[in-house]
Amino acid sequence: MNRFHASLLMVLAALLVFFGMKGGMLLAGPPSAYQLKTAYLYHFTKFVQWPATVFADERTPFRLCVVGVDPFGKLLDVLSRKKVKGRSIVIRRLESAAGLTACHLLFVSQSEEGQWQKIFSTVSQKPVLTVSDTEGFARRGGMVNFVRIGNKLRFEIEKDRVAEAGLKMSATMLQVGQLVKSDRGSP
């Protein structure tokens, strides 16, 4: 088991304890897809390096945003109690493309599929890691896309888009993800 998977399992266990308790009893059953995606999003923050210039100082929080209909509900709120690289995490829920460039990690909801072009042009070549769980997202201009392969949750990476944004993804994350090429030309 590599470092990425080991740390993902630790966060998942914490999420399950936090969300699985009801009346003092642990709920049975496997984690939901969005519990897993929450754990992945947190770990993406650890395995991607943002340029130092995106943070005004060491107290500037890490902004994790969701644009469109939020499929996570309260799951993401647990991340606001965590830190990433010494920074607190602020969760922002956006209804439109306004404010996207203030995000460090942007989850693009399935409800925004018709707005991809506008979103991509807004964050093009800016240090915003775009993530979704909508079919074709990474191939059509996004950076990371959750996919189901068999009964497992995996993710695709369009590493050229990541590099164009000035982000550096760890070799571990690149090995765990499935590399894809964008069908779009340059933004």
The domain locations on the chain are 3-179
Output the six-digit token pair for 130. 């775009």
Tally Cβ neighbours within 10 Å of residue 113: 16
pLDDT (0 to 100) of residue 183: 81
Report the alpha-carbon distance of residue 142 to residue 130 in Å, rounded: 6
**pTM for the predicted model, two decimal places:** 0.84
DSSP labels for 11-69? Answer: HHHHHHHHHHEETTEEPPSPPPHHHHHHHHHHHHHHHEE--GGGSSSTTPPEEEEEESS
pLDDT (0 to 100) of residue 24: 32
Mean pLDDT of the chain: 87
pLDDT tens string 33-76: 999 999 999 999 999 999 999 999 999 999 999 999 999 999 99
pLDDT (0 to 100) of residue 7: 52
| Res. 170: pLDDT tops 80 | yes
Q: Do 39 and 17 touch, CB atoms closer than 8 A?
A: no
Output the six-digit token pair for 63. 């902004």
Percentage of the chain exceeding pLDDT 70:
82
- CATH number for 3-179 (one of 3.30.70, 3.50.40, 1.20.1250, 3.40.50): it is 3.40.50
pLDDT (0 to 100) of residue 113: 95
| Res. 164: pLDDT tops 70 | yes
pLDDT (0 to 100) of residue 14: 45
pLDDT tens string 139-155: 999 999 999 999 999 99
